Structure 1
Amino acid sequence: MTEITRVPLQPIAKGSLIKLWLGVIAAVLLGAGIAWASVPAGVEVDTITEGAGPTPGPSDVVFIKYVGKLADGTEFDRSQQLPFPTNGIIPDGMPMQVSGVVPGFAEGLQQMQKGGKYTLRIPADKGYGATPPPGAPIPPNADLVFEVEMIDFMSEEDAQRRFQVLQQMMQGQQGQGGAPQGPGGGAPGDPQAAPAAPQ
């Protein structure tokens, strides 16, 4: 039978246990910090003025006023008034389908309520990423900031119906003396004449 050699354990020096636990805690916090830093930043929506009621869904059409800026404050886009009279058939503001814009913009719009004003911060990976639209004043991998006023929103079906009514009304006016045309020379509601949405 083999004999086991006994090695006496040395007692832990005073204060060493505390140092050991502090080292373990520091390692855990460092690991958590590295994990947190590797998670991409999300879309931030800050409320300037409270809105009311429900929020739009991905297939809804929103009517908004907005200013788009780079993180350094350089303005790259601004909503324009529609260049034709709407006669109250559609709300004021630029019409956009929520699902037709960049993911971060769509995500932010779905957190906004009618009548509210918001600051929307979009990280580059939820904006244009490394490939902004050709000719756009947006550099690759740029974070974006939008000031957005949610005028109103409605279902896609309701918006299409209203644009058709507006188009018919304008076609009737053109026959009687030429009313203003929609963007691009067509009537409102014409896909080639639709206002461009920020992507």
Structure 2
Amino acid sequence: MLGAALLGGLLMVSGWAMADEVVPFPKLPEGAGAISAKAPKSFTATESGLKYRILRPGTANKPTAQQRVVVNYHGWLFNGRVFDSSYLRGMPITFGLNQLVKGWTEGLQLVGTGGMIELEIPGYLGYGLQGQPGAGIPPNATLHFVVELIEILGE
């Protein structure tokens, strides 16, 4: 059986941050809002295995899985390579929250309008075993995102 310290080291090498582990804040892309001075230094893990931290809380209004949202986001892999970013395209995107990978659907329901969340999505809540070859996302990749929730449509 692996000891907790060894297991923790293996998880970090594989791209997983352990809950309650102090993790530096991500470098935000140009155009992103500020991180709150009260933002947590570690991630919280949900029952599904999604890890998140609220970088800026926003309002009390949070979307449901059935709603459409307007967001800005920045996504990267463990090695730091950015695979998609609405910030880099210069415009937010609108979509149905239940039309995305499971990690996004779950994670965006945790942040309020005007808020910012950081997500660490394990492969099984992301693109799974197939990955997204066209976007350069390998099979079972852990996905990292910073997402700003601009608006919930149809509130």
TM-score (normalizing by structure 2): 0.64
Where in structure 2 are the equivalents of 1:137-152 lying within 5 Å? 137-152=136-151
SS in 2 for 1:107: helix
Q: Is the 8 A contact 2:132 2:138 kept in 1?
A: no
Paired residue for 1:106?
A: 105
Runs of 4+ in 1 over 6 A off after TM superposition: none
1:122 Cα deviation from its structure 2 partner: 0.4
Name the amino acid aligned to 1:132: G
Name the amino acid aligned to 1:135: G
Matched, 1:61 2:68: yes
Where in structure 2 are the equivalents of 1:49-128 lying within 5 Å? 49-79=56-86, 80-82=89-91, 93-128=92-127
Paired residue for 1:194?
A: none
Higher strand share: 2
Tell me the number of residue pairs that the alignment of Structure 1 and Structure 2 aligns. 112
SS in 2 for 1:135: helix
For residues 64-123 of structure 1, give each alpha carbon's deviation from its aligned partner in whole angstroms, at most 9, with x where no partner exists: 0000111221100011345xxxxxxxxxx2101101001111111111110111111100
Q: Distance in 1 between matches of 2:132 and 2:80?
A: 19
SS in 2 for 1:153: strand
Where in structure 2 are the equivalents of 1:23-62 lying within 5 Å? 42-62=49-69
TM-score (normalizing by structure 1): 0.51
Higher helix share: 1
Name the amino acid aligned to 1:152: E
Aligned CA RMSD, in angstroms, stands at 2.7
- The structure that has the greater radius of gyration is 1
Structure 1 residue runs without a partner (length 5+)? 1-32, 34-39, 83-92, 159-199
Where in structure 2 are the equivalents of 1:184-199 lying within 5 Å? none
Paired residue for 1:130?
A: 129
Structure 2 residue runs without a partner (length 5+)? 1-6, 8-46
Q: Is the 8 A contact 1:81 1:94 kept in 2?
A: no
Q: Distance in 2 between matches of 1:104 and 1:41?
A: 9
Task: Give the direction of change, closer, same or farther, for the CA distance of 1:132–1:58 in structure 2 (3 Å limit).
Answer: same
SS in 2 for 1:130: helix
Q: Is the 8 A contact 1:67 1:147 kept in 2?
A: yes
1:136 Cα deviation from its structure 2 partner: 2.1
1:41 Cα deviation from its structure 2 partner: 6.4
Q: Distance in 1 between matches of 2:55 and 2:74?
A: 14
State the identity %: 35
